[in-house]
Structure formats: structure tokens, C-alpha cells
Structure 1
Amino acid sequence: MQQVAWDSIIAPSVETIEHMTLRPLITAFVIGMAIIALSGCLYRMEIRQGNHIEASTLQQLEIGMSKNQVQFLLGTPAIVDLYQPDSWYYVFSIQHGSEGAVEQRSMTLGFSNDQLTTIDGDFSPG
């Protein structure tokens, strides 16, 4: 009887070999298909670029503020024109998800004698 047990260990049957080789392949196939199926369910986060200005910050902006005060409040402008250093441009864009439309807002600040004189653009509080 012990001889039979050793024979099955040393020379396994064809059925045992087929079962041993197919199981890992089937498992790998199922895992691979699950990964492919779930990869389309990923969350696409918003992409924000530029100067994001909060409504409360925008409400603090006042005519007559110095350049330093404005920069402290809003941050560094996206663009300062080399030929018109008294014009500062703040630009903000956001893309909702990977294929969403890009929403863009801009604001131009004008200075005279280091004091804020004009505020123009489509930044809205909120």
C-alpha cells in the first residue's frame, strides 16, 4: 500500500497535471479581466491652474491698495507685461474631469503711482 502512495507522488496522473496547470491560468485571466473592467471606473479629478481667488479674498480688494498689498492678498499675478508693468493679469482655469469643458476666468488690475486704480475681468465672487 505504501508503494501506491509513492507512485502517485513521483508520477502524478494526467488529470492532476492538467488541473495544476489550468488553475493558475484561469486565476490570472479572471484577475486580468477584473483589472481591465475596473480601470474605466477611475475618478477623474478637477484640474485647476492659475490663480484661484476665493470670493472672500476678492471682496477685500479695494481701489487705492498698493502693489504689495494686492500681491499679498491675491498672490503673484500670472502675467506682468514687460512693456506695461502697471498692468497685472490674473488667470484661472478649471477642467472638470478628463473630458470636461475648460472654464477660464481672467482679471486685469491697473496701477498708477503704485496704487490700484482699475479692476476689470470676469472673476466673480464664488
Structure 2
Amino acid sequence: MKAKVLILLLPIALATSACSVANFLTPYKLDIPQGNEITADQVAKLKTGMTHSQVRFLLGTPLLTDPFHANRWDYLYSDARAGVLRDKKSYVLIFEGDSLVSFSGETLPAPAKFQSAETSVASAVTPAPAAKE
């Protein structure tokens, strides 16, 4: 009787332990940002009438160029953390000939300004008053 119960419970025990082992052996999932990061400060520099080369210099090469719509450039950005899509943005530029006509879409926030190490140290340290003789 005990042998029959053991034979019936053994596959269940092996199956449940295999699930926990599979979770333990799952590979690390990388944080993967992909595409063009278009920030608000970059978009502030865009102006209608800019040429293809000026826009490419400012924003970089677009991720997608549609061969059927050569006048449209799509800048796409996605950010996946631990295998989960957290952020997805797209920015579209429309050209007429070689000049920019319109642009719209979602941008990333402008990066914070960096302070130089000398500035932060200089403001933190105040000179000692000179000794009177």
C-alpha cells in the first residue's frame, strides 16, 4: 500500500520540484533600451525648414525610414527592464523635398545639467578668515 502511494506521489513531487529548479535556473534578463532617445531639449532646437542633414546631425539617423514614404522619418524608442516593456515613445518628422515641414510625438525629459567637480567643491569649501597679526 505504501509503495503504491509513493509511486503516485513521486511524479507530483518531481514535477513541483522541477518548477522551482526551472525558476532558479532562469537566466538574468537584461535592461535593454533600444532606438533613438529623443529628448525635449533636442526637439526645442528643431525648426521647420531644416534640411535632412541638419536634422540628422541634431537627432541622429532615424530608426525607420519607410521606402514608400521617403518624406517621413520615424524615431522609435523602447525600454525593457527585466523583460518587461516599461517605456515606449515615437517621434515623427515630415519633410517636403529637403526641408522639414512638421514634427510631433513623445519625447524623453531633458537630461539634468551636470555640475563640474570644481564648482561643487568650491561652493562647499569656504576659505578660513586670515589671521590678524
Same-fold call, TM > 0.5?
Answer: yes
Report the TM-score range of the alignment, normalised by the length of the smaller protein: 0.5 to 0.7
Give the ranges of 4+ consecutive aligned residues of structure 1 lying more than 4 Å apart after TM superposition: none
Which amino acid in 2 is paired with 1:72? Answer: F
Alpha-carbon distance in structure 2 between the residues aligned to 1:93 and 1:61: 22
Number of residue pairs aligned between Structure 1 and Structure 2: 87
Identity of aligned residues (%): 34
Distance 1:95 1:56 in 2: 23
Q: 1:125 to 1:116 in 2, by over 3 A?
A: farther
TM-score under structure 1 normalisation? 0.58
Give yes or no for the alignment of 1:108 onto 2:92: yes
Partners of 1:125 and 1:63 in 2: how far apart?
22
Q: Does 1:83 align with 2:87?
A: no
C-alpha RMSD of matched pairs (Å): 2.4
Letter in 1 for 2:43: L
1:66 corresponding residue in structure 2:
51
1:1-126 map, 5 Å: 46-96=31-81, 98-126=82-110
CA contact (8 A) 1:55 1:125 kept: yes
Provide Cα deviations, 1:73-114, integer angstroms capped at 9, x if missing partner: 001001111011010000000113x14333110011000121
Query: 2:103, 2:88 → 1: CA distance?
Result: 17
CA contact (8 A) 2:29 2:83 kept: no
Structure 2 runs not aligned, ≥5 long: 1-23, 111-133
- 2:33 partner SS: strand
Higher Rg of the two aligned structures: 1
